[in-house]
């Protein structure tokens, strides 16, 4: 008779090696299995020191609000590890602060929207965005400096410009398209295309798309990169003169075919999973990466644009303590999409169908 491993049995996991324990906890978090996560917490003292440290580090970095809400709804704060419980309590308090402040500022946006016909002195929003581009270029240059070795290695074999871009939308209407082009000498170009009227997003979305389409057609990059399956991104990318590459396929390839022997496996195929995989540190708040409710992050987007329009400082997120700038968030998404391709091309981990695009 063959004995079956009870992979979800806590006693079996405690007796397993660190690699199995780590994989088990990541799987529980991915599946939002709070009952089993709590079971792990209750028995944490029985696990190895390495796993305890890994658990604390993971909890410190965890920013999945859907999972935290389950914790808050289910957990009695007695009889559990106090360090973890304090983290849960702190996240709960900060989440409430975040919702409250954003709600107040969104009401201010609505008032300004009602009064917009009296605000003829306000210049079009895209002129404000142009002024921001210089600072955003410095942010991207900072990231390029941190990953200089990766870009140098990439351009040694592939000495042509590479471009990435990302779109942000509010209820299916485009509010911005941010692009970054990096040249073989590591010089960079950043483009900031934003809705011309944040109080009439639906009306100005088509004009915004047309402006970016005109810009990308005039770029000389060999590759244009996006992440995921946004139909608008695909349309714009394929209308360029460049080779279209989807960075999601690179992550899917690595997760499916190259994860088994990795001491730090890629946990999933989102941008934030790659960021965790390589230790990438954003300047801006991750907004969507917090996995809050749709209505909250739509309001966060809107409040960010409104504060730009009125020349008010971008607010700091209570959940991650970083500036909540939707334009910089979008631009960093574009940069990470580009970095994914550079990173895995350098390691020759290229999806089979994309290998022809990187042949010398």
Give pLDDT, residue 139. 97
Give pLDDT, residue 3. 35
Residue 351 lies in a domain: yes
Whether residue 196 contacts residue 206, with contact meaning beta carbons closer than 8 Å, is answered with no
State whether 141 and 229 are in the same domain.
yes
Whether residue 221 contacts residue 242, with contact meaning beta carbons closer than 8 Å, is answered with yes
Query: What whole-number distance in Å separates Cα of residue 277 and Cα of residue 274?
Result: 5
State whether 163 and 50 are in the same domain.
no
State whether 244 and 137 are in the same domain.
yes
- Domain with residue 338: its CATH number is 3.30.420
Residue 111 lies in a domain: no
Range of the domain at 68: 10-91
Interval 233-238 mean pLDDT = 93
With a cut of 80, say whether residue 283 has pLDDT above it.
Answer: yes
With a cut of 60, say whether residue 295 has pLDDT above it.
Answer: yes
Containing 166, the helix (H) or strand (E) segment is strand 162-170
In the three-class reduction of DSSP (H, G, I as helix; E, B as strand; rest coil), residue 246 is classed as strand
Q: Which two tokens stand for residue 198?
A: 């944040």
Interval 87-101 mean pLDDT = 82
State whether 158 and 64 are in the same domain.
no
End residue of a domain, out of 91, 112, 135 = 91
Residue 228 lies in a domain: yes
State whether 170 and 222 are in the same domain.
yes
Interval 311-330 mean pLDDT = 94
State whether 83 and 129 are in the same domain.
no
End residue of a domain, out of 91, 112, 137 = 91
State whether 35 and 149 are in the same domain.
no
Residue 319 lies in a domain: no
Give pLDDT, residue 118. 59
In 3D space, the residue among 343, 222, 325, 354 whose CA is nearest the CA of residue 275 turns out to be: 343
More confident residue, 314 or 92: 314
Residue 244 lies in a domain: yes
DSSP E strands, the chain: 162-170, 173-182, 188-194, 223-226, 243-246
Residue 307 lies in a domain: no
State whether 167 and 250 are in the same domain.
yes
Residue 63 lies in a domain: yes
Ranked by mean pLDDT, which of 92-96, 290-294, 330-334 comes out on top? 330-334
End residue of a domain, out of 91, 111, 146 = 91
State whether 77 and 134 are in the same domain.
no
How many domains in the chain? 2
Interval 266-291 mean pLDDT = 89
Give pLDDT, residue 288. 83
State whether 163 and 210 are in the same domain.
yes
With a cut of 70, say whether residue 204 has pLDDT above it.
Answer: yes
State whether 233 and 336 are in the same domain.
yes
Residue 139 lies in a domain: yes
Taking only the tens place, the pLDDT of each residue in 113-151 is 888 755 545 667 878 888 899 999 999 999 999 999 999
State whether 224 and 129 are in the same domain.
yes
């Amino acid at each position: 008779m063959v004995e079956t491993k009870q992979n979800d049995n806590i006693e079996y996991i405690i007796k397993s090696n660190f690699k199995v324990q780590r994989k088990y906890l990541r799987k529980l978090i991915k599946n939002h299995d709070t009952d089993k996560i709590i079971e792990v917490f209750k028995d944490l003292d029985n696990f190895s020191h390495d796993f305890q440290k890994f658990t604390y580090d993971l909890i410190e970095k965890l920013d999945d609000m859907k999972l935290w809400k389950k914790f808050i709804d289910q957990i009695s704060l007695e009889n559990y590890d106090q360090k973890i419980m304090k983290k849960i309590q702190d996240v709960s308090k900060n989440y409430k602060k975040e919702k409250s402040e954003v709600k107040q500022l969104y009401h201010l946006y609505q008032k300004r929207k009602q009064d917009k016909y009296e605000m003829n002195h306000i210049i079009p929003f895209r002129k404000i965005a142009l002024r921001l581009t210089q600072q955003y270029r410095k942010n991207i240059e900072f990231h390029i400096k941190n990953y200089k070795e990766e870009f140098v290695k990439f351009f040694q074999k592939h000495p042509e410009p590479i471009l990435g871009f990302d779109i942000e939308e509010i209820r299916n209407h485009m509010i911005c398209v941010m692009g970054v082009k990096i040249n073989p000498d590591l010089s960079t170009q950043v483009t900031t295309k934003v809705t011309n009227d944040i109080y009439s997003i639906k009306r100005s979305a088509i004009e915004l798309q047309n402006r970016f389409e005109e810009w990308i057609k005039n770029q000389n990059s060999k590759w244009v990169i996006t992440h995921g399956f946004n139909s608008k991104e695909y349309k714009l990318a394929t209308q360029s003169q460049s080779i279209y590459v989807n960075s999601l396929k690179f992550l899917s390839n690595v997760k499916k075919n190259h994860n088994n022997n990795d001491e730090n496996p890629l946990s999933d195929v989102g941008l934030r999973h790659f960021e965790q995989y390589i230790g990438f540190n954003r300047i801006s708040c991750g907004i969507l990466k917090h996995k809050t409710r749709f209505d909250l992050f739509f309001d966060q987007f809107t409040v960010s644009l409104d504060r730009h329009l009125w020349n008010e400082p971008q607010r700091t997120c209570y959940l991650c303590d970083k500036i909540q700038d939707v334009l910089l968030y979008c631009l960093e998404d574009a940069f990470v999409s580009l970095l994914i391709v550079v990173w895995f091309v350098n390691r020759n981990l290229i999806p089979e169908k994309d290998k022809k695009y990187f042949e010398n």
